[in-house]
């Protein structure tokens, strides 16, 4: 294979809008070429063709046949992840698939067996375990400088359930459980070494206007006995960004009024699925051709001025890792370490994050034959935890796991 990786996109929705507005992003990688895209929306295809000089298709089955595509980025709705990933793998394409990797363990097994049989790379993204502060915390844990890991606790309170998701999307994703839980599960699994023994969880569906579960409390235990708690409230009145200087998930400043404004927007369009669909559509790639960002983007803190604001490290709530000789948590620009000598900050500069990091990981694996850390087996193990959270809450009991794999070294 040439030193350039030719990448095709399957699905040009909101995830792709984020991908192309991230800076630095995948379009800043000189060894990545965007050569094709498939989507049913003609306006999105026209923009992609114009922006990248790429092939465009309204049928995924045609894109995966293209000789000008080495790898496919699957960014379609979760219920299509398995189908589109398998289609790409069967046509000899490497695959990155957005989280969740699939919706069932059977589909994960099919995807992983196909990739292994064909000698192809399958990468599970996008989660915040790619973020440099989380990787730095893992590095410090592995170094042993703070002694052994003893527990991990992570909290996130935000307005996720009041964002303009059409109701059917929340039904399919079980609210936050397939959409947001993979982020926290991946973070905790990476810090704890990957091998979760069991899960006990309770979930909450607190607002009749929004289908699906919007909150959970989860206790999990690793094989070595290390415990972890995961707390998520997507109905938040409180916002965990308040605890670290109003830095938002993407690393940009977050408006302290975001939760209130998004809740008010949802109440205004309550029950109007067409309005929800239109607001969601405005956030998809190819919408807003005039360059005027819709109001909903500005409420969410992702409007046209985002690039003019100071960028910090990405955040996904408050995560504290406790070791024998100290605790760690993320700061705006690095890691805060609390030990016998007091508090010190470990700065992190110029490290790849987000989708840029995952595309770079695939490139290194395909072109330079390096192992994929976030591979399909890792994604399957993360999904197993999410599914166990659902079962545990329904059955009100502890669920033991059997598809776990260790974190990469």
Q: Where are the domains of the chain?
A: 5-128+353-374, 129-347
122-124 and 94-97: which strand pairing?
A: parallel
Nearest to 231 by CA among 260, 198, 262, 203: 203
Tell me the pLDDT tens digit for each residue of 373-382: 999 999 999 9
Reported confidence tier of residue 292, pLDDT bands at 50, 70, 90:
very low
Q: Looking at residue 409, what is its pLDDT?
A: 72
Quick one: which H or E segment has residue 153? strand 149-157
Compute the chain's Rg from CA coordinates: 20
Sign of CA dihedral 235, 238, 243, 246: positive
Rounded CA gap, 290 and 268, in Å? 26
DSSP 194: S
Q: What is the mean pLDDT of residues 60-81?
A: 97
Is residue 325 pLDDT above 70, yes or no?
A: yes
β pairing state of 227-233 and 215-222? antiparallel
Distance in angstroms (rounded) separating the CA atoms of residues 217 and 17: 31
- pLDDT band for position 20 (cuts 50, 70, 90): confident
What does residue 339 show for φ and ψ, rounded to 5 degrees? -140, -165
pTM higher than 0.85, yes or no?
yes
The reported pLDDT for the residue numbered 290 is 39
* Statement: residue 67 has pLDDT above 80: yes
CATH of domain 5-128+353-374: 3.40.50.720
Residue 354 has pLDDT above 90, yes or no: no
Is residue 232 pLDDT above 50, yes or no?
yes
Residue 251's region, left for phi above 0, alpha for psi from -120 to 50, else beta, is left
In this predicted structure, what is the pLDDT of residue 1? 47
Q: Yes or no: say if 101 and 76 are a contact pair by the CB < 8 Å rule.
A: no
Query: Average of pLDDT values for 156-175?
Result: 94
- Which pLDDT belongs to residue 286? 81
At residue 309, the pLDDT reads 57
- What is the structure's pLDDT at 288? 59
**Mean pLDDT, rounded, for 158-165:** 94
Is the confidence at residue 305, as pLDDT, over 70?
no
CATH fold for the domain made of 129-347: Dihydrodipicolinate Reductase; domain 2 (3.30.360)
Helix, strand, coil share of the chain (percent; to 5): 40, 20, 40
**DSSP strand E in 243-395: where?**
318-323, 326-330, 334-339, 342-347
pLDDT at 329 over 90: yes
pLDDT at 394 over 90: yes
Mean per-residue pLDDT of the chain: 92
Whether residue 78 has pLDDT greater than 50 = yes
Q: Where are the alpha helices (DSSP H) in 336-375?
A: 354-368
What pLDDT digit, counting tens, does each position of 109-141 carry? 999 999 999 999 999 988 899 899 999 999 999
Residues 21, 301: Cα–Cα separation, whole Å: 13
Is the pLDDT at 2 greater than 70? The verdict is no
For the stretch 209-219, pLDDT in tens is 899 999 999 99
pLDDT of residue 96: 97
| pLDDT tens per residue, range 171-191 | 999 999 999 999 999 999 999
Q: Is 405 helix (H, G, I), strand (E, B) or coil?
A: coil
């Amino acid at each position: 294979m040439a030193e350039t990786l030719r990448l095709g996109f399957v699905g040009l929705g909101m995830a792709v809008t984020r991908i192309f507005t991230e800076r630095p992003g995948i379009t800043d990688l000189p060894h990545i070429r965007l050569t094709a895209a498939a989507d049913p929306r003609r306006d999105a295809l026209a923009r992609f063709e114009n922006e990248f000089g790429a092939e465009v298709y309204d049928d995924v089955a045609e894109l995966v046949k293209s000789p000008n595509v080495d790898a496919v980025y699957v960014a379609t709705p979760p219920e299509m992840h398995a189908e589109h990933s398998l289609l790409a793998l069967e046509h000899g394409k490497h695959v990155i698939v957005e989280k969740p990797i699939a919706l069932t363990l059977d589909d994960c097994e099919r995807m992983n067996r196909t990739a292994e049989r064909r000698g192809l790379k399958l990468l599970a993204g996008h989660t915040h375990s790619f973020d440099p502060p989380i990787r730095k915390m893992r590095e410090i844990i592995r170094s042993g400088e703070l002694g052994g890991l003893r527990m991990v606790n992570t909290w996130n309170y935000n307005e996720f359930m009041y964002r303009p998701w059409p109701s059917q999307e929340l039904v399919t994703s079980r609210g936050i459980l397939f959409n947001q839980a993979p982020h926290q599960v991946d973070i905790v699994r990476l810090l704890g070494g990957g091998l979760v023994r069991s899960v006990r969880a309770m979930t909450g569906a607190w607002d009749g206007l929004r289908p699906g579960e919007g909150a959970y409390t989860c206790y999990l235990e690793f094989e070595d006995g290390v415990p972890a708690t995961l707390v998520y409230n997507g109905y938040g009145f409180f916002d965990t960004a308040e605890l670290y200087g109003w830095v938002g998930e993407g690393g940009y400043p977050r408006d302290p009024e975001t939760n209130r404004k998004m809740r008010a927007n949802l109440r205004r369009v309550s029950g109007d699925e067409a309005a929800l669909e239109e607001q969601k559509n405005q956030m998809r790639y190819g919408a807003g051709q005039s360059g005027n960002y819709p109001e909903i983007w500005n409420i969410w803190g992702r409007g046209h001025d985002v690039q003019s604001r100071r960028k910090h490290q990405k955040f996904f709530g408050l995560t504290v890792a406790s070791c024998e000789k100290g605790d760690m948590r993320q700061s705006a620009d690095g890691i805060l370490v609390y030990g016998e000598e007091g508090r010190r900050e470990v700065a992190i500069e110029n490290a790849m994050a987000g989708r840029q990091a995952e595309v770079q990981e695939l490139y290194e694996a395909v072109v330079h034959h390096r192992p994929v850390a976030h591979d399909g087996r890792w994604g399957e193990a993360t999904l197993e935890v999410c599914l166990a959270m659902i079962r545990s809450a329904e059955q009100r009991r502890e669920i033991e796991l059997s598809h776990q794999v260790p974190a990469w070294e």
